[in-house]
Structure 1
């Protein structure tokens, strides 16, 4: 398969090229005389990965399922997700983890990674690629109560949900052992200033669009939305201290939200909002590529990214304005704090491992893989 006349967005600039795909991988990048699918110079982002997604399912399938969440992802240009473990029942033992893997293999419309939660029993720890610990309150009962020092001594990558106190402790232990640490959804000036000071090559930092955009107390989320000074501090460090933008897609029913449930849907606005930031010059397109494609790929999977031998995952963009309308979401969660917002940048085509899985109207299911 040959895709022609793409303007591929990378952290090094926009590269105009044709891409030759074989067996789902990028075989060559260049300019070829052969005929192929011509995208007429459309802007293209490789390997869009959302590193923070709650697909619900199991006992919470009335809120969301793996199927609906991943269809939502593909419809808005996300070709890979990493799922959080605070499901019901939670992903904190081998049997549930394997059930989750089977569920994703059968139902997912995009590639995926599954986080395993460690609470106190460290005997499971070594067998899992993605580990998540919760040091502060969130949806579910997965607070870590074990030996944090011992956990970090295994030198396996860890993602943490915490406030500033837990972040400080985890950073200290990451530095002590050389353990890779991913700090989820930073939300305050204090957190980002601390991380700016102590961050090294083993520590990565994530922010959500809602912590960048929404004013304090406007939505019930965890961590809480910050004040103006917090949002300004986060914006300042995009593409610097902050490596990743992720959605923290956390669907609920409208009735649950009225009762104070934490979280908002976000998988269908993560790429559109980030594109809007770039089109309106709040960030550069090079920074966009780092935040939503290249850095997540480096953290999550060496199969992803842009280069010969990488998975042929691409999202083709049109520079058109549209208005967010949650009633049209593929997600079961039909509300959004961004409803009615005019955004620049629509999804024209989505390609997953060389196959067109979304053509602007129809979603196609192919066999998806664990990252």
Structure 2
């Protein structure tokens, strides 16, 4: 199979190149001069549009299996593909969670039957209860292991408990104490893997909610009950653990200027600590709540304009190395509840690319940096580079074509998600992904899927990730 992509503005490690691209048997065979004459099975005329590496969404909760009334892997990856995502990294907290090599193998086989994108799998770190599974999870190809540092889990299902009052105490598996967490850091370091965590300190949260003195009723209450100090505190503790053990540590969904300061401090000290943020933190603020409504409730919460500005600065300076959607659907009914009982999380992998393209075209960052944080550096972080995340000969031909002149209004009724309720409903976006190429085949044109499902599992190469981090 040979694909000839013509007249493209290619975003490459060498900068923006106007050229053609030849893809053969799923990989990029060469970057050619515009108008090169080559034999091909298929041609796609990019018409001078921007062509980037296919987006990698490293933070997706497809709820599959166990909570498929909220979402499933078929819907999440199909929606992601239409928005320019060619690889998703699936989080481990379905039911049962991916807390062992045995479950990892089962989940891989299950998702291979329904994936529209290529995919990798996270493992779940529980602390002492599955410390012996950390090595086998990495050997099986896990991209990272995730610790829900401040969350309680249901003792039987290992699912997240968003509101402690929903379950009797005997049903709860409380977050591991920090001594056990440090043991986890040591074990991940011993296997050369990557540890990531939801960073909000449970004690800071508990005290803040007590001081609020009443149930959360307004968005101001939510911010008071979950202050930025909770995020910064956990990152500071993680910094010391990473420094002491040599563990690579990653902060997911960074949401605050205070948290970014803690990340900067760690990196300035030479600690192997990286961070991700999400479209919701880069495009929404507390001022959007009257327009967006309760669906905007996510953890950590979307904060103020100063936090958003700081996060964009973190993206451009390299303190934030990756962007992820944190796609975490709940039912429409659940997201319509009041703040006190509504679970946190929002639909996001389908709008991940379009919302970020809009930000790019509004001048929030450069095309080169955009490609790095949506693909190249994400691939390096999770052991997928150079197979994924870059336009260069020998890499997988995963591409997204962007039309800067397009306009699209996000509408819930047009989403593929099983529970179509987006924080960006009604937002008009500049630009749009107009074609997606997965391993050398055009699979999406103008948001319509035009090829059979062909997603496959991609195992992480952590030796390669460590080498990339060292560079």
Q: TM-score, normalised by structure 2?
A: 0.75
Question: Which secondary structure does the structure 1 equivalent of 2:89 belong to?
Answer: strand
Determine which of 392, 395, 412 is the counterpart of 1:310: 395
Question: Which secondary structure does the structure 2 equivalent of 1:206 belong to?
Answer: strand
Question: Which secondary structure does the structure 2 equivalent of 1:67 belong to?
Answer: helix
2:194 counterpart of 1:157: yes
Q: Give 1:191's aligned residue.
A: 259
State the alpha-carbon separation in 2 of the partners of residues 134 and 143 from structure 1.
10
Structure with the higher fraction of residues in helix conformation: 2
Instruction: List structure 1 runs of 4+ shifted beyond 6 angstroms.
Output: none
1:29 shift after superposition: 1.7
Q: Give 2:220's aligned residue.
A: none
CA contact 2:11–2:391 (8 Å) conserved in 1: no
2:176 counterpart of 1:145: yes
Could you say if the C-alpha distance between residues 363 and 57 of structure 1 is closer, same or farther in structure 2, counting changes exceeding 3 Å?
A: farther
Determine which of 62, 85, 89 is the counterpart of 2:69: 62
Larger radius of gyration: 2
Q: Give 1:202's aligned residue.
A: 272
Q: Give 1:343's aligned residue.
A: 429
Q: Give 2:93's aligned residue.
A: 86
User: Any residues of structure 2 matched to 1:32-43 within 5 Å, and which?
Assistant: 32-36=36-40, 37=43, 38-43=45-50
1:102 shift after superposition: 1.0
What's the Cα RMSD here?
A: 2.0
Point out the more displaced range, 177-186 or 31-40: 31-40
Q: Give 2:229's aligned residue.
A: none
Question: Which secondary structure does the structure 1 equivalent of 2:113 belong to?
Answer: helix
Could you say if the C-alpha distance between residues 53 and 363 of structure 1 is closer, same or farther in structure 2, counting changes exceeding 3 Å?
A: farther
State the alpha-carbon separation in 2 of the partners of residues 212 and 253 from structure 1.
24
2:311 counterpart of 1:234: yes
CA contact 1:71–1:363 (8 Å) conserved in 2: no
CA contact 1:11–1:285 (8 Å) conserved in 2: no
Q: Give 2:468's aligned residue.
A: none
Q: Give 1:273's aligned residue.
A: 355
Question: Which secondary structure does the structure 2 equivalent of 1:101 belong to?
Answer: helix
Determine which of 449, 458, 461 is the counterpart of 1:362: 449
Question: Which secondary structure does the structure 1 equivalent of 2:49 belong to?
Answer: strand
2:410 counterpart of 1:324: yes
Determine which of 336, 345, 349 is the counterpart of 1:263: 345
2:282 counterpart of 1:212: yes
State the alpha-carbon separation in 1 of the partners of residues 412 and 322 from structure 2.
24
Instruction: Flag structure 1 segments of 5+ consecutive residues without an equivalent.
Output: none
CA contact 1:91–1:115 (8 Å) conserved in 2: yes
Point out the more displaced range, 277-286 or 59-68: 277-286
1:179 shift after superposition: 2.0
CA contact 1:53–1:83 (8 Å) conserved in 2: yes
Point out the more displaced range, 93-102 or 59-68: 93-102
CA contact 1:133–1:144 (8 Å) conserved in 2: no
- Equivalent pairs counted in the alignment come to 371
CA contact 2:353–2:433 (8 Å) conserved in 1: no
Could you say if the C-alpha distance between residues 363 and 162 of structure 1 is closer, same or farther in structure 2, counting changes exceeding 3 Å?
A: farther
Instruction: Flag structure 2 segments of 5+ consecutive residues without an equivalent.
Output: 153-158, 162-172, 201-231, 290-295, 460-471
Could you say if the C-alpha distance between residues 201 and 316 of structure 1 is closer, same or farther in structure 2, counting changes exceeding 3 Å?
A: farther
Determine which of 103, 106, 123 is the counterpart of 2:132: 123
